[in-house]
Amino acid sequence: MNNFQYSRASDVADAIRLLAADPGAKLIAGGTNLIDLMKENVERPSRLIDISRLPLREIEETADGGLRIGALVPNSDLAYHPLIEQRYPLLASAILAGASAQLRNMASVGGNLMQRTRCAYFYDTTTPCNKRSPGTGCSALDGLNRNHAILGTSKSCIATNPSDMSVALAALGALVHIASPTGARTVALTDFHRLPDDKPHLDTILGRGEIITAIELPPHSFARNYSYLKIRDRLSYAFALVSVAAALELEGNAISEARLALGGVAHKPWRSLEAEAALRGQAATADHFGRAADLLLQGATARSQNGFKIELARRAVVRTLMQATSATPQSQAHKKIA
């Protein structure tokens, strides 16, 4: 591990000041991803800015009936919070499908949004990787790409975003609150993560000196007809080959509102407003769900080893929507792929 300086931020403004002053600085809270990257020599921060003691651990109701979640709320605390379990169970299911209990106890909400890809080439410093070293190339394009993206890819990168929580947040229409040297701003979760394009080393839209302060959930919670399905090679402690967050509002068997997001298939959680619109006013049937899946997967591109993901994702979407229709959520599943 390389030498680095250590600072402890006294408040959000202090964290912003320290971060803006040193382009090589990184924030640390739970450290569940950053420390691993430092050990592997992937991340080499000049300074760690400890924000673990900042007052960002509250979960509060908003004036319009939603929830504001502080960026330092541990993942476990969020998943088991009474208001999340009762009003946003889709989010609780997604969180509990990720990592291990020990990691969820340490990982923060903000850190979960900032975690980096688990592409093996990104972690292997002996191989070219545009995400790790811009301009060196993408080893996965013609290499081992079974776990890689099928949507939103570029010639520079086909890595996937590893977060389960972000997929549910995308489906729920969450907002990200950001503090910066010039003030505060709010962006939709679906706009927070970037597609790779020609700058895959930039995972998010955060600028220099900016810090996540909170996540906001809207009042519409889809607390009854929802499901999170995560398909992976083994049931415990594995990242998704494909994951689906689905939420419906039903009037009898007719769909009045629908939300749908995919994980494990792109550089960011993948949500399609077109696919959701196609479900509104339709009967909750497998045929209609299949059409929505086709819209969600428009433009999917297979590489040498990950073509199976396209059909797997389609079937997973239909299955998850069927589970949501019958109000039988399933947070964890696995499928052995030959």
**Tell me, what CATH number does 255's domain have?**
3.30.390.50
pLDDT score recorded for residue 335: 41
pLDDT beyond 70 at 81: yes
- Locus of tokens 């600072």: 7
**137 occurs within a structural domain:** no
- List C-alpha distances in Å: 118 to 65, 145, 220, 274, 323: 36, 12, 32, 29, 29
Whole-number Å distance between alpha carbons of 49 and 221? 35
Mean pLDDT of the 3-22 span:
97
Give the pTM: 0.96
**84 occurs within a structural domain:** no
Rounded-to-5 percentages of helix, strand, coil across the chain:
30, 20, 50
Query: What is the number of structural domains in the chain?
Result: 1
102 neighbors 259 (Cβ within 8 angstroms): no
**255 occurs within a structural domain:** yes
pLDDT tier, 338 (very low <50, low <70, confident <90, very high otherwise): very low
**184 occurs within a structural domain:** no
The residue that leads in pLDDT, 237 or 327, is: 327
Q: 325 Cβ partners below 8 Å, 6+ apart?
A: 225, 248, 250, 253, 284
**12 occurs within a structural domain:** no
- The angle, 0 to 180 degrees and rounded to 10, between the axes of the packed helices 308-325 and 286-296 is 140
pLDDT tier, 2 (very low <50, low <70, confident <90, very high otherwise): confident
pLDDT tier, 336 (very low <50, low <70, confident <90, very high otherwise): very low
Domain residues for 239?
Answer: 226-326
Query: What's the token pair of residue 281?
Result: 């006013």
Whole-number Å distance between alpha carbons of 244 and 4? 39
The residue that leads in pLDDT, 247 or 334, is: 247
Q: Count CA within 13 A, CB hemisphere, residue 234.
A: 4
pLDDT tier, 230 (very low <50, low <70, confident <90, very high otherwise): very high
Strands (E), 30-136: 47-50, 59-61, 67-70
| DSSP 8-state assignment for residue 195 | P
**199 occurs within a structural domain:** no
pLDDT score recorded for residue 1: 65
pLDDT beyond 50 at 332: no
Long-range contacts of 250-257 (CB under 8 A, 24+ apart): 250/225, 250/284, 250/325, 253/283, 253/284, 253/325, 254/281, 254/282, 254/283, 254/284, 255/279, 255/280, 255/281, 255/282, 255/283, 255/284, 255/288, 256/280, 256/281, 257/220, 257/222
**318 occurs within a structural domain:** yes
pLDDT beyond 80 at 331: no
240 neighbors 164 (Cβ within 8 angstroms): yes
Mean pLDDT of the 103-125 span:
98
pLDDT score recorded for residue 262: 98
**274 occurs within a structural domain:** yes
- Could you give the strand order of the β-sheet that contains 67-70, starting from the edge strand earlier in sequence? 59-61, 67-70, 211-217, 175-180, 183-188
146 neighbors 160 (Cβ within 8 angstroms): no
Mean pLDDT of the 18-44 span:
97
Length of the chain as a residue count: 338
